[in-house]
A and B are shown apart, each in its own frame.
Chain A
Amino acid sequence: MPINADAIRKNFPILETEINKRPLIYFDNAATTQKPLVVLERLRYYYENENSNIHRGAHYLSHIATEAYEAARNNLRRFINAGESHEIIFTRGTTEAINLVANSFSKKFVNEGDEILISTMEHHSNIVPWQIACQEHGAKLRVIPINDKGELDMEAYDGILSDKTRLVAVTHVSNALGTINPVEELVKKAHEKNIPVLIDGAQAAPHLHIDVQQIDCDFYCFSGHKMYGPMGVGVLYGKEEWLNQLPPYQGGGEMIKEVTFEKTTYNELPFKFEAGTPNVADVLGLDAAVSFILDAGLDNIAAHEQQLHDYTVEQLRKLEKVRFIGTAKQKTSVVSFLFEDIHPYDTGTILDKLGVAVRTGHHCAQPLMDFYGIPGTVRASFAAYNTQEEIDKMIEGLQKVREMFG
């Protein structure tokens, strides 16, 4: 069923913003999406009616807040079809989730001469934590190359996977290109050699059905704020057998079973990895965001976004000197491009003046920009509330850019 973007927009007060007396056109959804009223109301409801510290107090508020928090965990489990609720760890976001695994996994399983495998199209958040871990443990970071279209070179992957590989960490969807990677195949090949795989799902969660059991990955990470939820909350999914083997990431409250000055025993999953008072309000906000997505229908949202993507590409082709970056067969609704003769920053500045919010720059993927030999791109990324009329306005803006910069 096609979604009614005009009706959906009514749930997003921020979309009524005006910039230079023009209506805001928000095409920076891959950086963060806007938040619907149901999410904002959920946050407020929590602080007005349920606020308390969870998992401890025996009082009424603590009881209902704990129930809501654990119900959210179960809803998130269902959202990505994980087997068990305790395989869902709440984090600050994808970045923290990756850092948790990079830190704890490497402490136990990575030694001198070992290798960690990532890809050319990774976000800095899926590069730097591994770099740090490699430096600490004397391991080497290896990189799966990509082709010009922005697709993983799967043959090269076969060659790089080896007895030395301790873990593969690859993105599900590229934030700069929109490429959807063949994660099931990646996992299958790694598992043939008993190598665990972490998937960075930050750009996939708002657009694709995620089934971690079907993908069979060992770890999967995503952020709430890129899927209509609040900032500061995300999820690390880990297979129980892996999570049980990893040492804790941070120490503190919640994560302990018993503490003496001599020795501490740790709590069981998922609490072992949730040190300190959890971000209850934002977890509940994320829960509301999941309901928002499911109510609109993930397939319906994806179909709508695909239509916007195709329309944008078609309209951009009519302009002169447009170079597309990332033309993979399997893509989400990200259009990354630049004018061959105009710096992306110049393009972005003029679009901003016209009320069009796009992202310009290297998209936290500098090695990828180096691969293409460009300073950055202009990236338009779509969400459920975007419309074709908005794209027409962006194209008008780009025509103006062409006029101004020759």
Chain B
Amino acid sequence: MSTIKEKEQEVIEEFALFDDWMDKYNYLIELGKSVPKIDDQYKEEKYLISGCQAQVWLHARYEDGRVYYTADSDALITKGIVALLIRVLSGQPPADIVDAEMTFIDEIGLKEHLSQTRSNGLLNMIKQMKLYALAFQKSKN
């Protein structure tokens, strides 16, 4: 299985194909449709990421030393970005997730979604993904 770095590189190369932001966002919207869907029973307050203008639900499970994420969002662009995060982090060992730098977001030109404004909770999304990994890592030791 590819490492997080390798997967990040894969995404960067894919996005390099677009020279127009519209194509990039259309692709994001498409990606959103492929997000590993969170089970409806988890679509509740407890699994909601705070700080997002759009609602984002995130669930994680730990299996054979790796973390697997599922998620959903009511905004399609947000869902696309979440799909990208899951593609890069899901199926990785918790230690690697905790250490992941996630610089690819900047490189594919989506940094604005990580800004500290109140409307963008993507930073919280990454933080939550890492917190799950950290918790699994601790329970393992």
**Interface presence of A9 (CB below 8 A):** no
Contact B25 A375 (CB under 8 A): no
Name the segment of A222-230, A293-301, A344-352 touching the other chain.
A344-352
**Interface presence of B89 (CB below 8 A):** no
**Interface presence of A260 (CB below 8 A):** no
Interface residues of B in 85-139 (CB under 8 A from A): 118-119
Per-residue 0/1 for B27-66: is the Cβ within 8 Å of any A Cβ (1 yes, 0 no)? 0010000000000000000000000011100000000000
Contact B25 A353 (CB under 8 A): yes
Sort chain A's interface into a size bin.
Answer: 10 to 19
Closest chain A residue to B78 by CB distance?
A345
Contact B54 A343 (CB under 8 A): yes
Sort chain B's interface into a size bin.
Answer: 10 to 19
Among candidates A349, A375, A376, A400, residue contacting B77 with C-beta atoms closer than 8 Å? A349
Interface residues of A in 347-363 (CB under 8 A from B): 348-350, 353, 360-361
A20 to B78, CA, bound (A): 21
A343 to B78, CA, bound (A): 10
What is the interface of chain A mostly: helix, strand, loop, or mixed? Answer: helix
Contact A20 B21 (CB under 8 A): yes
Instruction: For residue B57, give the distance in angstroms from its CB to the closest CB of chain A.
Output: 14
**Interface presence of B76 (CB below 8 A):** yes
Contact B21 A343 (CB under 8 A): no
A346 to B77, CA, bound (A): 6
A343 to B55, CA, bound (A): 10
Q: In the assembled complex, which residues on chain A have CB atoms less than 8 Å from the CB atom of B29?
A: 404-405
Q: In the assembled complex, which residues on chain A have CB atoms less than 8 Å from the CB atom of B6?
A: none
Interface residues of B in 65-90 (CB under 8 A from A): 74-78
**Known A-B contacts A346-B76, A349-B77; A404 and B54 likewise in contact (beta carbons under 8 Å):** no
Closest chain A residue to B75 by CB distance?
A343
Contact B25 A404 (CB under 8 A): yes
Q: In the assembled complex, which residues on chain B have CB atoms less than 8 Å from the CB atom of A344?
A: 53
Contact A375 B55 (CB under 8 A): yes
A345 to B74, CA, bound (A): 9
A338 to B50, CA, bound (A): 22
A405 to B78, CA, bound (A): 13
Contact A405 B119 (CB under 8 A): no
Contact A376 B53 (CB under 8 A): yes
Q: In the assembled complex, which residues on chain A have CB atoms less than 8 Å from the CB atom of B3?
A: none
Instruction: For residue B54, give the distance in angstroms from its CB to the closest CB of chain A.
Output: 5
* Most central of B29, B53, B74 by chain A CB within 10 Å: B53
Contact B77 A345 (CB under 8 A): yes
Among candidates A20, A346, A353, residue contacting B75 with C-beta atoms closer than 8 Å? A346
Residues of A within 8 A of B (CB): 20, 342-346, 348-350, 353, 360-361, 375-376, 400, 404-405
Add 18 more A-B contacts to A343-B78, A350-B25, A400-B22 (CB < 8 A).
Answer: A20-B21, A342-B76, A343-B75, A343-B76, A345-B54, A345-B77, A346-B54, A346-B76, A346-B77, A348-B119, A349-B25, A353-B21, A353-B22, A353-B25, A360-B119, A361-B119, A404-B25, A404-B26
